[in-house]
Amino acid sequence: MASAIDTHSPVHASTASLLGRLFRESMRGYARWFFAALACMALMAAATAASAWLMEPVVNDIFVNRDESMLMPVGLAVFAVFIIKGLANYGQATLMAYVGLRIVTDNQNRLFDKLSRMDVKFFQDSNTGGLISRFLVDINQMRGAVSNAWVSLGKDAMTLIGLIGVTFYQDWRLALIAFIIFPAALLPIVKLGRRMRKVTANTQREMGLFTTLLEQTIQGIRVVKAYSMEAYERGRVSEIVERVFNLTMKAERTRALSSPIMETLGGVAVGIVIFYGGYRVIHGNTDAGSFFSFITALLLAYEPMKRLANLNAALQQGLAGADRLFQMLDMEPAIQEAPNARDLPKPVKGAVEFRNVGFAYTSDRTTLNDLSLTVPAGKTVALVGPSGAGKSTILNLIPRFYDVAEGAVLVDGEDVRGLTFQSLRGAMALVSQEVTLFDDTVRANIAYGRAGASEDEIIEAAKNAAAHDFIAELPDGYDTLVGEQGVKLSGGQRQRLAIARAMLKNAPILLLDEATSALDTESERQVQAALDALMTDRTTLVIAHRLSTVVRADLICVIVDGRVAEQGSHAELLARGGHYKHLYELQFAGEAPGDGSGGARQAAGR
């Protein structure tokens, strides 16, 4: 069963297993690009080694023997070596950039595909910033692990091998002295890599929390200012930014520790080489050209050797992101299609039945208990009752946002757990109090109801939702950007766009969750008129707190403590004198009792 991402989960996979999975899932498909880059790296390594070897004729033939005939060939050879080195470096850099960016793109697509299939509970239990962090931080650091590791293992390792070959060719005794010292650095550097991975994982978690805090504060800026909480929010941001600073600084110190280790050992090696090699030159055991060629190769080898020493720290930093990404990719949604799921038979009539349904969000509290309810095809059924009684849960179970623990939910006699998501949810349209609009055009937000809808169909849906007139008055009409969550529109305008979206979908089952409760009188009148049109000839299940909006529903069900306490028409429930009458009297205290005809026009909308 899916659960929220544990932001405090430890880094658990081994380096070998993570690298193996990275290769299988991200790198293997680009093998030809890697080998092309590897060929460029081999050329670059050979050119670097050749440049060190050329120091021998430069010193012996030109400066010692003063052979003028060697000036041109040696000069041209040096020029050719550097040209080859530059072109090869360009080739490997561009090839590795392509592969690295493709890996980022592929994994961002994989991750979004995974998130799109996760269930509603997963998103309710996960913080948004932590999810965004997976896309922006973890995957990019994973790219660094792939690119840096391949470049270091390719270019630096081959360059080092070539240069070591030159040193052994020139003087194998000096080479043994120089290169027997450097392996001593491996143990502390491996330990630094482990520490870097842990620090990086903690930093990534903090960045996720930081993203969430920024998002919440920016979206809730009106509340922040209304309650004069700017100082409080600044304090919260300052605290988490300080934690990120401390972790980042710790990572930098850890990474930098490899430098004094390598510099110290490098100084020891070079010092010994100069002392012993100089002694051999002075006493005629070797010539100056060979010695300078050796020193050049040794000094050139120092940089790739340092990069290889730092590779583990950089690799572990990237693998921390890979580990967190794979944790996400390995999760499975709690709500899944059955292996033999079938489409909802057509034509869809829209009859909905709850048969002895039990459901709980948590183990310590039952939300629905042995609930049975029938919504006849083409009829309007209203759910009323106190907050927390389970009304919204009933709506959420129909499209399988959650699954029942006991009993069954049926649509046209078919258990929803045996149906495909596409056919089940394609038969439903949802309009709720909390309208979701995307930061896109008005046209795109309406067309979200049905992909591929024509311009005429979009406009017709807007007219039916009483939205066309205000859309026409917007600066760019249907091409106007509505802003994040429709911030540029009023509450009533947002609701009418949501209704237009539902109208365009033209689904046989309509789910209304407090679609007008937050609106002013004029907006509610316009939205309710649009809902009246939308509900015509559809099965409608509506949640309402204002009873005046449901008096004309075909059936009213009073939900109390997760059960249907009463059901019947408005008049029948009033005559019964139970829960419904009590709710009615609380809302209309001080008014003459009646049959609710004042709300008749609105009733069908609920």
Question: Quick check: is 551 in a domain?
Answer: yes
Question: Quick check: is 347 in a domain?
Answer: no
Question: Quick check: is 372 in a domain?
Answer: no
Token pair of 351, please? 């009859």
- Strand, coil or helix: what is 261? helix
Q: In the beta sheet, which residues pair with residue 539?
A: 509
Question: Quick check: is 441 in a domain?
Answer: yes
pLDDT given at position 3: 46
Count of domains observed in the chain: 2
Q: Same domain for 458 and 325?
A: no
Q: Same domain for 315 and 385?
A: no
pLDDT given at position 477: 92
Q: Same domain for 320 and 384?
A: no
pLDDT given at position 603: 35
Q: Same domain for 384 and 317?
A: no
Bridge pairing between strands 509-513 and 539-543: parallel
List strands edge to edge, sheet with 406-411: 368-375, 352-359, 406-411, 414-415
Residue 488 domain boundaries: 380-389+421-603
Q: Same domain for 55 and 150?
A: yes
CA distance 175 to 168: 5
Residue with token string 């949810």: 425
Q: Same domain for 296 and 384?
A: no
Phi then psi dihedrals of residue 381, to 5 deg: -120, 125
Bridge pairing between strands 406-411 and 352-359: antiparallel
User: Can the peptide bond before residue 399 be classed as cis, meaning omega within 30 degrees of 0?
Assistant: no
Phi then psi dihedrals of residue 26, to 5 deg: -120, -30
User: Which stretches of 449-490 are DSSP H helices?
Assistant: 455-464, 468-472
Q: Same domain for 270 and 137?
A: yes
pLDDT given at position 375: 92
- Strand, coil or helix: what is 412? coil
Nearest to 205 by CA among 331, 328, 123, 329: 328
Q: In the beta sheet, which residues pair with residue 383?
A: 543, 557
Token pair of 522, please? 């004029």
Convert the pLDDT of each residue in 83-95 to its tens digit. Answer: 998 899 899 888 8
354, burial (CB in 10 Å: exposed 0-12, middle 13-18, buried 19+): buried
Question: Quick check: is 56 in a domain?
Answer: yes
pLDDT given at position 367: 86
Pick from 313, 330, 347: which residue ends a domain?
A: 330
Which H helix or E strand runs over 168?
helix 157-170
Contact 379, 402 (CB under 8 A): no
pTM surpassing 0.75? no
Q: Same domain for 231 and 112?
A: yes
User: Which stretches of 257-340 are DSSP H helices?
Assistant: 258-282, 288-330
CA distance 20 to 33: 18
CB atoms under 10 Å from CB of 407, counted, come to 17
- Strand, coil or helix: what is 202? helix
Question: Quick check: is 403 in a domain?
Answer: no
Residue ranges in the chain modelled with pLDDT below 70? 1-13, 144-146, 148, 179-198, 204, 219-220, 222-223, 226-227, 255-259, 261-263, 265-267, 269-270, 309-310, 312-313, 517-520, 523, 589-606
DSSP per residue, 77-138: HHHHHHHHHHHHHHHHHHHHHHHHHHHHHHHHHHHHHHHHTS-HHHHHHS-HHHHHHIIIII
CATH of residue 531's domain is: 3.40.50.300
337, burial (CB in 10 Å: exposed 0-12, middle 13-18, buried 19+): middle
CA distance 397 to 399: 6
CA distance 485 to 494: 9
Q: Same domain for 384 and 311?
A: no
Token pair of 346, please? 């057509």
Task: End-to-end CA distance of the chain: give it in Å, rounded.
Answer: 35
Contact 22, 142 (CB under 8 A): yes
Q: Same domain for 211 and 84?
A: yes
Convert the pLDDT of each residue in 241-284 to its tens digit. Answer: 888 888 878 877 776 666 676 667 666 766 777 777 777 777 77
Phi then psi dihedrals of residue 359, to 5 deg: -155, 145
Question: Quick check: is 408 in a domain?
Answer: no
Q: How many residues are given for the chain?
A: 606
pLDDT given at position 471: 92
CA distance 378 to 602: 18
Q: Same domain for 304 and 450?
A: no
Q: Same domain for 321 and 457?
A: no
Please report, for the chain, how many H helices and E strands are present, in that order.
24, 10
CA distance 104 to 119: 25
Convert the pLDDT of each residue in 565-601 to its tens digit. Answer: 999 989 999 988 888 888 888 877 644 444 444 443 3
CATH of residue 160's domain is: 1.20.1560.10
Buried b (16+ CB within 10 A) or exposed e, 127-151: bebbbebbbebbbbbbbbbbbbbbb
Convert the pLDDT of each residue in 400-449 to its tens digit. Answer: 999 999 999 999 999 999 999 989 998 998 888 778 888 889 999 999 87
Question: Quick check: is 404 in a domain?
Answer: no
Contact 380, 542 (CB under 8 A): yes
Question: Angle, nearest 10°, between helix axes 258-282 and 186-219?
Answer: 150
pLDDT given at position 595: 44
- Strand, coil or helix: what is 336? coil
